Amino acid sequence: MRTRQDDELFMREAISLAQRGTGTVHPNPLVGALLVRSGAIVGRGWHRRAGGPHAEVEAIESARDAGLADLSDCTLYVTLLPSRTHAALRRSRHLLGHPPRRRRHH
């Protein structure tokens, strides 16, 4: 069972990852991300450069590169809320193994 202390530990690590983007991501913010399964870090990422992939995508791809196919039972820790743009949100959901949500327009 995940505890508040676990969450704080993982967020500190995500913040540390975000710092790796110092000097390369301007004008974008520094962002770090961790993907955790059963208390173990299975993916890491940070926003490396302006115009590059988002930190959450980097973390997900890192886990996939390590051979993890199903990420639906993982927790994603991100130092900044994932992008709310429709395309980025759909991509993150797809990479995590969740089908994109469909929006209804009335």
Using CA atoms, how far residue 92 sits from 7, 24, 27, 57, 88, in Å, is 21, 23, 22, 7, 6
13: Cβ contacts below 8 Å, ≥ 6 apart: 32, 34, 41, 77
Candidate list 8, 13, 56, 58, residue with the active-site label: 56
Q: Is 13 an annotated catalytic residue?
A: no
Known catalytic residues? 56
